C-alpha cells in the first residue's frame, strides 16, 4: 500500500511516517514544504531515520506548487498534516500564511485527489476549532474557534466536507488535543519549559498558569492515527484524539522541576488572545471506532521529551 503524508518532516508527521513504515507492505511518500526557514535544521533531524528507509521517498515541495498528479500515482491513502501551526502567530498580517498553507493548500490537494480514487483521505485538525468549552468536549459540540489559526483549520475541515459531499472523497477528520513528546517544536510550551529550566532562564507563562490542557503523548496520538487506516465505519466522521491526563500549566512546571531537579524561574505575562482556558477531549468515539486507548502518562512522556531535548539541543 502506498501512502502520501504531507507535512512529513514535522513533529507529528515524522513520527507518523516512522510508525507507518513499521508495517511491512507500506510505502510512504513524504512531502514537506519547509515553509518556516528557522525550522530547517529541526526538520532535517526529524527526517534522519526516515531517509535510511528504502520504502520512504521524500519531496521537499510546497503543496501549492507540487506536481500532485505524479506524487499521487499509485497512492491509496493520504494523510494531510501539512499546515501553518500556532495560535499566537496567527493574528495580523501573518494570517495570510495561514490562508495559503491551511486553506488554499488543502483545497489544491482535494482537487488533485478528486481525479484520483483513494480509500481514505485523513485530514488532521485540532482542538482549536472548538474554542472555549466547559467540561468534556464531544465531536458534536459546536465549533467556535477563538483564533485565526482555529478558523483556518476549521475551514480546511469544511473544505473536506464539501469535497466529500460533491465528489465522494473518503474523508476522515481527526482533531488532535495538545500534543507533546520528543521532537516537539521549539516554540511549543513543553519544549520552552524544559529548555528554560535546564538553562536557568526565565520562562514566560501566559496568564495565571491555571489553564488546563488535555495533553496527548505523540506515540499515543500516532497509534490512533495509524488505526484510522484500516478502521471501518470512519469515513465522514470527525474523531477527537486526546490524552490520558489533563493538567494545568503550573502542574506541568512542578512536575518538570521534580524530573529535572531544578527550580523554574517563572515570569507571568498577560493571557494569550485566542487561547482557551481549558481543553478536555471526550475520546469515547476514538475508543469505539479506532480502539484507541492512550497509555502514556504525562510523567513518562515528559521524561522521554527531556531525553530528546538533552540529546539534541544541549549538545550544541
> What percent of the chain clears pLDDT 70, i.e. is strictly above it?
99
CATH number at residue 36: 3.40.50.720
Structural domain boundaries enclosing 204: 189-212+245-279+295-312
Average model confidence (pLDDT) across the chain:
96
Query: Would the pLDDT of 316 be above 60?
Result: no
Q: Do the beta carbons of residue 240 and residue 284 sit within 8 Å?
A: no
Alpha-helix runs per DSSP H in the chain: 11-21, 40-47, 68-71, 95-98, 105-114, 148-167, 189-198, 218-230, 249-260, 284-290, 298-312
d(CA 289, CA 270): 40
Q: Across residues 18-22, what is the average pLDDT? A: 98
Please indicate, yes or no, whether residues 256 and 157 belong to a single structural domain of this protein: no
CATH number at residue 266: 3.90.25.10
Please indicate, yes or no, whether residues 24 and 150 belong to a single structural domain of this protein: yes
Q: Across residues 291-300, what is the average pLDDT? A: 97
Q: Is residue 250 part of a domain?
A: yes
Q: Is residue 288 part of a domain?
A: no
Please indicate, yes or no, whether residues 17 and 114 belong to a single structural domain of this protein: yes
Q: Do the beta carbons of residue 147 and residue 274 sit within 8 Å?
A: yes
Per-residue model confidence (pLDDT) at position 313: 66
Q: What is the pLDDT of residues 101-159, one digit of tens each?
A: 999 999 999 999 998 999 999 999 999 999 999 999 999 999 999 999 999 999 999 99
Please indicate, yes or no, whether residues 299 and 195 belong to a single structural domain of this protein: yes
> Residues 149, 163, 176, 292: which is the catalytic one?
149
Within a 10 A sphere around the Cβ of 21, how many other Cβ atoms?
18
**Is there a catalytic annotation at residue 149?**
yes
296 contact partners, CB below 8 Å, separation of at least 6: 217, 219, 220, 243, 244
- Dihedral sign from CA coordinates of 193, 197, 199, 205: positive
Q: How far is CA 149 from the centre of its chain?
A: 13
Please indicate, yes or no, whether residues 107 and 194 belong to a single structural domain of this protein: no
Confidence of residue 160 (pLDDT cuts 50, 70, 90): very high
Within a 10 A sphere around the Cβ of 315, how many other Cβ atoms?
6
Q: Across residues 285-299, what is the average pLDDT? A: 98
Q: Do the beta carbons of residue 281 and residue 136 sit within 8 Å?
A: yes
Burial class (CB within 10 angstroms; exposed 0-12, middle 13-18, buried 19+) of 97:
middle
Task: Give the chain's domain count.
Answer: 2
Per-residue model confidence (pLDDT) at position 262: 97
**CA geometry: angle 25, 30, 32, nearest 5 deg:** 170
Burial class (CB within 10 angstroms; exposed 0-12, middle 13-18, buried 19+) of 261:
exposed
Model pTM? 0.97
d(CA 81, CA 8): 8
Q: Across residues 288-311, what is the average pLDDT? A: 97
| R_g of the chain computed on alpha carbons | 19
- Dihedral sign from CA coordinates of 62, 67, 71, 75: positive
Please indicate, yes or no, whether residues 85 and 116 belong to a single structural domain of this protein: yes
d(CA 164, CA 160): 6
Q: Is residue 8 part of a domain?
A: yes
The H helix count followed by the E strand count for the chain is 11, 12
Burial class (CB within 10 angstroms; exposed 0-12, middle 13-18, buried 19+) of 316:
exposed
Q: What is the pLDDT of residues 270-281, one digit of tens each?
A: 998 999 999 999
Q: What is the pLDDT of residues 217-269, one digit of tens each?
A: 999 999 999 999 999 999 999 999 999 999 999 999 999 999 999 999 999 99
Terminal-to-terminal C-alpha distance of the chain: 40
Amino acid at each position: 500500500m502506498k501512502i502520501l503524508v504531507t507535512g512529513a518532516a514535522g513533529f507529528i508527521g515524522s513520527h507518523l511516517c516512522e510508525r507507518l513504515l513499521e508495517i511491512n507492505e507500506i510505502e510512504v511518500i513524504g512531502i514537506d514544504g519547509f515553509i518556516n526557514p528557522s525550522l530547517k535544521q529541526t526538520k532535517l533531524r526529524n527526517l534522519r531515520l526516515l531517509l535510511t528507509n528504502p520504502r520512504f521517498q521524500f519531496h521537499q515541495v510546497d503543496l501549492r506548487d507540487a506536481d500532485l498528479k505524479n506524487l499521487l500515482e499509485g497512492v491509496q491513502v493520504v494523510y494531510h498534516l501539512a499546515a501553518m501551526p500556532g495560535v499566537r502567530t496567527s493574528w495580523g498580517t501573518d494570517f495570510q500564511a495561514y490562508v495559503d498553507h491551511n486553506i488554499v493548500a488543502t483545497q489544491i490537494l482535494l482537487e488533485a485527489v478528486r481525479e484520483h480514487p483513494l480509500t481514505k483521505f485523513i485530514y488532521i485538525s485540532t482542538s482549536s476549532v472548538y474554542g472555549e468549552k466547559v467540561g468534556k468536549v464531544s465531536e458534536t459540540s459546536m465549533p467556535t474557534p477563538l483564533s485565526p489559526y482555529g478558523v483556518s483549520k476549521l475551514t480546511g475541515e469544511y473544505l473536506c466536507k464539501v469535497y466529500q459531499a460533491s465528489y465522494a472523497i473518503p474523508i476522515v477528520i481527526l482533531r488532535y488535543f495538545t500534543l507533546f513528546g520528543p521532537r516537539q517544536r521549539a516554540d511549543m510550551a513543553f519544549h520552552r519549559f524544559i529548555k528554560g529550566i535546564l538553562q536557568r532562564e526565565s520562562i514566560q507563562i501566559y496568564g495565571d498558569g491555571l489553564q488546563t490542557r488535555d495533553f496527548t503523548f505523540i506515540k499515543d496520538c500516532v497509534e490512533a492515527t495509524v488505526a484510522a487506516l484500516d478502521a471501518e465505519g470512519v469515513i465522514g466522521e470527525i474523531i477527537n484524539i486526546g490524552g490520558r491526563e489533563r493538567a494545568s500549566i503550573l502542574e506541568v512546571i512542578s512536575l518538570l522541576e521534580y524530573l529535572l531537579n531544578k527550580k523554574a524561574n517563572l515570569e507571568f505575562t498577560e493571557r494569550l488572545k485566542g487561547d482557551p482556558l481549558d481543553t478536555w477531549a471526550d475520546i469515547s468515539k476514538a475508543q469505539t471506532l479506532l480502539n484507541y486507548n492512550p497509555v502514556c502518562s504525562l510523567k513518562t512522556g515528559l521524561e522521554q521529551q527531556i531525553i530528546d531535548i538533552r540529546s539534541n539541543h544541549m549538545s550544541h
